[in-house]
Structure formats: structure tokens, C-alpha cells
A and B are shown apart, each in its own frame.
Chain A
Amino acid sequence: MTALLDVLSWIALMSGVAFCVLGAAGLLRMPDFWARTHAAGLTDTLGAGLILVGLMFQAGIGLVTIKLLMILGFLYVASPTAGHALFRAAHAHGVAFSEATLGIRKWEDGSDRGSD
């Protein structure tokens, strides 16, 4: 039983860390601000969630798990709220789109379909 919990905890922790590193790499690689927000959101939900679940497997049932659940619940409420405020502020400032992001928009309008 303990070995199974250890394996589950190891899997959750390592996949959470992998999502965190991937999100940070996306933060460096994505072309503009609007694409970078997706990479940052990945680390806030899947990365943090999987790492905290992995710690819960280690802690067992008790006060520590309740504290971990409180951190998880707060992060899941606060992170999208802060993200929404940030995107609204950026949109109000008129942060520019990159060429790659605008290409998708053009295709959705049907104005330039087939050219790219």
C-alpha cells in the first residue's frame, strides 16, 4: 500500500514538474503576450495541481492534506482571477498581436482562407 502511494506520488510530482518546466519554456518561446498567457495558465493549473496532489499522496489523511487542499483551492480561484485582471489591463492598453496570432484570425474570418 505504501509502495503504491509512493509510486502514485512520484508520478504526480514528476508530471507536475514537467508541466511547470514546459509552461516556463512556452513563456520564453511563444510569439506574443496573448500566446504566452496560455503557457503561464498551464503551469498554474496542471503544474501546481499535480504537484500538490503528489504531496497529498505523501501526507495521507490529516491536517496536512487539508492545508494542501486549501492551497489548491485558493490557487484555483486566485490564479484565473489574477489572469483575468491582467488580460483586461493588457487589452485596455492595446498590447499588439504578433503576425502568427493574426494569421489564425484571418483564417477564421474566411477572408484569406487557403493562402496560408
Chain B
Amino acid sequence: MFSAAMLGILVTMFLALIAAVRGPTVFDRILAINLFGTKTVLLIAVSGFLMGRPEWLDLALVYALVNFVAMIAVLKFVRFGNLARDDVEPRG
């Protein structure tokens, strides 16, 4: 059962990678990579149950937090052109 779920999640991640490579604008790519990160959280959780070690859920939780922060950081970089200064005008 867990192997089937892992296979489905891996298929989803592969499709998200194709969308990230193909997407015409940078926002399509960010959308696909965000989906990829969410599916990584699920993959870690399911694989912990598959290996009989549900303690890996801690890793999944940390990955969810890191994924969210990275997503906001990439968006800020796309919008402002840098990450540190706050005196620049947003693009567009």
C-alpha cells in the first residue's frame, strides 16, 4: 500500500519537474517547484511508514518549514531583484 502511494507521489513529482522545465514564465516554474516541495514532504512521510520508522515525520515537518521560507525568499528575489535591501522599488 505504501509502495503504491510512493509510486504515485513520484509520478506527481516527475510531472511537476516537467512543468517546471517547460513553464513559459518564471511564476509557472515557481508554482511547479512549490508543488514539488509539498510532494517531497508527503514522500518523506509515506517512506517513513514504509520503512517502519515514523520518526522521519520530523524531517517532513522541517522540510515543510524550509520549503515555505524558500518559496517566499524566491518570490521576494523575483519581485525586488535582491534579498537584503528594502529601499528598492518593486519591479512591475
Chain A residues close to B by CB (< 8 Å)? 6, 9-10, 13-14, 16-18, 20-21, 23-25, 27-28, 33, 36-37, 40, 43-44, 47-48, 51-52, 54-55, 58-59, 64, 67-68, 70-71, 74-75, 78-79, 81-83, 85-86, 89-90, 92-95
Which residues of A have CB within 8 Å of B71? 82, 85-86
- The A/B interface has a contact count, at CB < 8 Å, of 142
A90→B29 CA distance, assembly (Å)? 12
- What are 29 contact pairs spanning A and B, CB under 8 A? A14-B8, A17-B12, A20-B9, A20-B42, A21-B8, A24-B19, A28-B19, A36-B19, A37-B31, A43-B35, A48-B38, A51-B9, A55-B46, A71-B57, A74-B61, A75-B38, A82-B68, A82-B72, A82-B75, A85-B75, A89-B78, A89-B79, A90-B27, A92-B79, A92-B90, A92-B92, A93-B27, A93-B91, A94-B92
Select which of B31, B58, B60 is within 8 A of A36 by beta carbon: B31
Known: A21-B12, A82-B71, A94-B92. A75 touches B64 (CB 8 A): yes
